Structure 1
Amino acid sequence: MDKVKRADKIRKIHAGALLQNLILLIFSITCIFPAVWLFYSSMKSKAEFNANPIKLPAHLNFEHYIDVLTKSNIIQWMGNTIRNTVLSLLLVVIIGFIVGYFISRFRFRGRKLMYGYFMMGMLVPIHALMIPMYVLFTKTGMGDTWYTLIFPYTAFGIPIAVFLVESYVQNIPKELEEAAAIDGSSFGRTLFTIILPVCLPILVTVGIIQFFSTWNEFTFALILISKETLKTVPVGLTIFKGQYSTDYPQMMTAMLLAILPAMVIYFIFSKQIIKGMVAGAVKG
């Protein structure tokens, strides 16, 4: 009798595991298929795509890739996007690390107010600031320059960086800094040669989050930049959509080239993103 019950229990466990794996498999397919569909659709002609958007292409056609790379400014758009992403990422990581460390380690008047101020930055919707930002940048003459987008990207990236670093630093033993001080290490040296390497996992996570949010940002790039030479990839992709008709295979080719760097970064650092988010969410 005990063997029968044990066998039934094992069968239920296996059935539950099979069901869970099946659900995860379906979910994975729904995530992967759009990228696969984007790739093979870029190989079709316009007539072939209009005839059947889901069907595989009859043969591989790289003409759209040649046209996008030679007849559009996508290389320049990518250069602008990379510049904005790298500079804002560095600023967010440096400022977020220093501010997050000070808020976590030191107790001073106004500390909670400062922390709350940064946390409020995570709650303000971007669309609520479109008009004020446009007016501000227009009045100050800061619009349509190579550094225009770096300011809003940095400002909106700092709150999440401060939140993650502050939570992460609380799990670092204070004995590390005390031992360094006893050995005669200055505060700056302790901060950047001892605490910074320990915080590297969460800083990598902050950098990855900032990379994705900046690379895909559309709103500020649309309203603050009007010069063709300063456009970013998300804004530049809008030129592939016509007023009366759209060459979807060509547009999908441009989209695939635009998201390719982000996909590579994600696949390389996907485990680091999960580890960093979990580590930053746990209070010590």
Structure 2
Amino acid sequence: MEKQSRHIFSKFFVNLILIIFSLSCIFPLVWMFYSSLKEKRVFNADITGLPKNPTFSNYKKILTNPDYHIFESMFNSFRTTLLSVALIVICGFIVGYIIARIKFKLNRVVYLMFLMGMLIPIHSLLVPIYIVFKNTGLTDKWYTLIVPYVAFGLPIAIFLVEGFIKGIPVALEEAAAIDGSSFSRTLFCIILPVAKPILTTIAIIQTFSCWNEFSFALVLISNTKLQTVPLAMTQFTGQFASDYPKIMAAMLLTMAPIVILYFIFSKQIIKGMVAGAVKG
């Protein structure tokens, strides 16, 4: 009886801690939402209080004012993210499979070179990348950000795919070869469906990374018509004052697609992470 009581108490205590932790994660979003329904003077007078007269004027101003380029920046982020993630997943899958399955003289060297991309801080390369892009005329183009996003996204993709592929039995490919399957058919029709969990995980991780990336966008893009969502957020911050309710409204609008995407694929993300850990 005493043992059962201890078990119930420990279970209750653990659940209580998890509930408190969950609330601490959810509260910032709730605070952002009801703060976005305030006017600037009301927010400055009481930062944490609930709005007495909620208004959607901040959302209206953001959506109707052409100077904010909110829809244009969301489209730019969507296009850049979609193309970058597609290239990262496809190239990461092919290269990861080749490194995991095909043994050649420089196999480990190539693999280590890719992994070095995970160790180099992005910010240390901003200046040389800017100089290279400036001299080659690659700045302020619609495809400018795709190049660094793919370059810095490939190492983690190759690392995850290589570990996952090693856990797939080679007999599966040998059986396909006996049946007359070509290399490309085996790769895309047999291995690709099996690797779907880890590829989905890579796609979701890189989607968050590309959508929220700020450093390269700030350095390589100066044209307001090509700016991404993080750059658009800087328009609401002045030199001496900031309109925080409007900033929060803009943040919620731009966060909506990525949050919806996360909730749709949250189970797949967890499944892919677990599968990658077990297979690797």
Q: What is the aligned counterpart of 1:9 among 3, 12, 23?
A: 3
* AA in 2 matched with 1:98: I
Mapped to 2, the partners of 1:204 and 1:229 lie a distance apart of: 31
Mapped to 2, the partners of 1:53 and 1:45 lie a distance apart of: 11
- Structure 2 equivalent of residue 237 of structure 1: 233
RMSD over aligned Cα, in angstroms? 1.0
- Answer yes or no: is 1:258 the counterpart of 2:266: no
- Structure 1 equivalent of residue 264 of structure 2: 268
Instruction: List aligned pairs for 1:1-284, cutoff 5 A.
Output: 7-71=1-65, 72-283=68-279
* Contact 1:167/1:282 (8 A) holds in 2: no
* AA in 2 matched with 1:151: V
* AA in 2 matched with 1:93: V
Mapped to 1, the partners of 2:121 and 2:31 lie a distance apart of: 32
* AA in 2 matched with 1:168: F
Structure 2 residue matching 1:121: 3-state secondary structure: helix
Deviation readout 1:42-98 (Å, 9 max, x if unpaired):
111111111111111113311111100111200000000001000000100000000
Structure 1 residue matching 2:245: 3-state secondary structure: helix
* AA in 1 matched with 2:142: W
Structure 1 residue matching 2:141: 3-state secondary structure: coil
* AA in 2 matched with 1:206: I
Deviation of 1:145 after TM superposition, in Å, equals 0.5
Q: Which runs of 5+ in 1 are unaligned?
A: 1-6
Deviation readout 1:190-222 (Å, 9 max, x if unpaired):
111111111111111110011000000000000
* Contact 2:62/2:70 (8 A) holds in 1: yes
TM-score (normalizing by structure 2): 0.97
Mapped to 2, the partners of 1:123 and 1:280 lie a distance apart of: 21
